[in-house]
Structure 1
Amino acid sequence: MTSTRTGRWVRLDGTTNTRDLGGLPTTDGGRTVPGRILRSDNLQTLTANDVRRLVGEIGLRSVIDLRTTAEILLEGRGPLRDVPEVTHRHFSLLPERGHHTDVFAVEEDDPQIDLPAGWAESLLPRQVADHDAGESPAVRSYLGYLGQRADNVVGALRAITVAGDGAAVVHCAAGKDRTGVVCALALAVAGVPHEEIVADYAMTADVIDALVAKLATSPTYADDMVTRDVASHTPRAETMDRVLTLLEERHGGPAGWLDTHGFGADEQAALRARLRD
């Protein structure tokens, strides 16, 4: 397995879990290209220096936000929203009351969307397929994204594919679960082998203490951070290993799942080109 852990981190003042998907080996002897796709935790607390670095130095031009509608509205407009060169796309991976597959009223100064006192109340109950009932809670959650929000999983990958010149960043709140699933599929399409995808997913464990501490400062996430210990938030390699194994068994791999859900060979080739020279 390659050792690219330290060089792939993008150290910013306002995030704790930002890294580049470049530099990973592929099954044909190549490597993914740096500066094309980043993955990250919440971008709401970026500093002015962070924005200058992302936009000016790294060339960020597209944000793919995987949070729920309520999370976006409760957290407010992040600083990248004021940068005209950067486009924002929204693809919630959780079932919600009302579907939004792009940035909507959150782009307005005074969004006219009513939220309940508890933002989680805007989420619909998550369904678990009978054949997945015996899986671990994390695996069930990830399969839930694929089963209940396949439209938005594909939509997020499509947004990455057509982002054009410059870098794209995929993020959710922590940058480990929803972001982990979308990035795992993107890396698989690029030809990154199973074990390297698992290793990338598990890298968040390196920064989990700082990540939990950051989220605990936000009223949106604080309750969940204080009611569960750090170990419960720590990603485990076996979780992503199991998800990829199930995709292999059921669909012939991530590419097969994507093909079944309308992201076919041509789009997969275009996504692969985004991550490869």
Structure 2
Amino acid sequence: RGPVLIHCAAGKDRTGILAALTHHVAGVSDDDVIDDYLLTNDPVRFERRGPKFMEIIHELTGRTPTEAAVRAAMGVEAQYLAAAFAAMKDQFGSLDGYLEQAVGLNADTREAVRAHILL
């Protein structure tokens, strides 16, 4: 019991999808899930981490990426999450179908998670 931290050092997309699925389980509306996902694009995040990201790319490749390229790599678009959700729905019929068949969270487990989140 208690708070949970979802973190991936180099996986904003995996982390974002996991957070979005967690929101779905909690009953958050699709529009609010997208709005939360788009918070990844916070300009302060780029200001804080962008220069280091550019430096690492330069060290690894000998080339300096443009700021626009780094912003694109560090950012997200609503269509990214929409495409991930569409693929889950196409293959499993629904997000709940994905959670049950691919992840192993049946309806009872999802309800227990929802109740825990909404305490």
TM-score tier, shorter chain, comes to 0.7 to 0.9
Q: CA deviation at 1:213?
A: 3.2
RMSD, matched Cα: 2.5
Q: CA deviation at 1:245?
A: 2.5
- Residue 230 (structure 1) aligned with residue 70 (structure 2): yes
Q: CA deviation at 1:214?
A: 4.9
Maintained 8 Å contact 2:38/2:78: yes
Task: Tell me, in whole angstroms, the C-alpha distance in 2 between the residues paired with 1:190 and 1:259.
Answer: 15
Structure 2 counterpart SS, 1:171: coil
Q: CA deviation at 1:227?
A: 4.1
CA, structure 1 residues 272+205, in 2 after alignment: closer, same or farther (shift >3 Å)? same
- Residue 192 (structure 1) aligned with residue 28 (structure 2): yes
Maintained 8 Å contact 2:23/2:33: yes
Q: Deviations over 1:214-244 (max 9, x none)?
A: 5457xxxx22895462232121111112212
CA, structure 1 residues 191+214, in 2 after alignment: closer, same or farther (shift >3 Å)? farther
Maintained 8 Å contact 1:189/1:254: no
For normalisation by structure 1, the TM-score amounts to: 0.35
Task: Tell me, in whole angstroms, the C-alpha distance in 2 between the residues paired with 1:205 and 1:189.
Answer: 24
Q: CA deviation at 1:206?
A: 1.4
CA, structure 1 residues 274+231, in 2 after alignment: closer, same or farther (shift >3 Å)? same
Q: CA deviation at 1:175?
A: 6.1
Q: Deviations over 1:171-224 (max 9, x none)?
A: 11256212101111111111112222111111111134233335457xxxx228
**Number of residue equivalences:** 109
- Residue 243 (structure 1) aligned with residue 84 (structure 2): yes
CA, structure 1 residues 191+274, in 2 after alignment: closer, same or farther (shift >3 Å)? same
Q: Which runs of 5+ in 1 are unaligned?
A: 1-163
- Look up the match of 1:266: 108
Q: Deviations over 1:110-168 (max 9, x none)?
A: xxxxxxxxxxxxxxxxxxxxxxxxxxxxxxxxxxxxxxxxxxxxxxxxxxxxxx1x211
CA, structure 1 residues 211+175, in 2 after alignment: closer, same or farther (shift >3 Å)? farther
Task: Tell me, in whole angstroms, the C-alpha distance in 2 between the residues paired with 1:196 and 1:187.
Answer: 9
- Look up the match of 1:213: 51
Q: Select which of 81, 93, 99 maps to 1:252.
A: 93
Q: CA deviation at 1:263?
A: 1.6
CA, structure 1 residues 201+174, in 2 after alignment: closer, same or farther (shift >3 Å)? farther
Counterpart residue type for residue 192 of structure 1: V
- Residue 178 (structure 1) aligned with residue 14 (structure 2): yes
Q: Select which of 189, 203, 218 maps to 2:39.
A: 203
Q: Identify which of structures 1 and 2 has the higher relative contact order when contacts are C-alpha pairs closer than 8 Å and 6+ apart.
A: 2
Maintained 8 Å contact 2:54/2:70: no
**Identical aligned pairs, as a percentage?**
30
Task: Tell me, in whole angstroms, the C-alpha distance in 2 between the residues paired with 1:178 and 1:191.
Answer: 20
More strand by share: 1
Q: Which runs of 5+ in 2 are unaligned?
A: none
